A = this chain, B = another copy of it.
């Protein structure tokens, strides 16, 4: 068995952003030399998520608008602590904060349109994603 761990750092320019990280994750998979296995990609900060979907600008706009509709910025109890980002915690919950990518024959085994996005909902600060690979 072989394991491999790496971290991706983000510091987005905008508060809300979808960053396509497919190539970066593929690079970590290649570095791991794992041929058959599972690759966890998980946002370590609780106001960001990981989203697997289409690299299409209209859809990316749609999903962010829709998340704002379902989990709007506004007044929350969490803000009594001095924070202003409760909606980002909720948006991360909807998108989910992690994904497991299968590795087959040494590469990410993705569907034809599957792309992996880091979904930032409270950006403009340094944040981390863990990539953990287990396999052979």
Contact = CB atoms under 8 A, between A and B. Distances in A.
Contacts of A114: 44, 46
Interface residues of A, number: 58
Interface in A69-116: 70-71, 76-81, 86, 89-90, 92-100, 102, 104, 109-114
Interface in A6-20: none
B94 A94 contact: yes
Contacts of A134: 36-38, 134-135
Interface string A110-136: 111110000000000000101010111
How many copies of this chain does one complex carry? 3
A90 B78 contact: no
A90 B77 contact: no
A59 B86 contact: yes
Interface of A: 1, 3, 5, 36-38, 40, 42-46, 51-54, 56-59, 61-63, 66, 70-71, 76-81, 86, 89-90, 92-100, 102, 104, 109-114, 128, 130, 132, 134-136
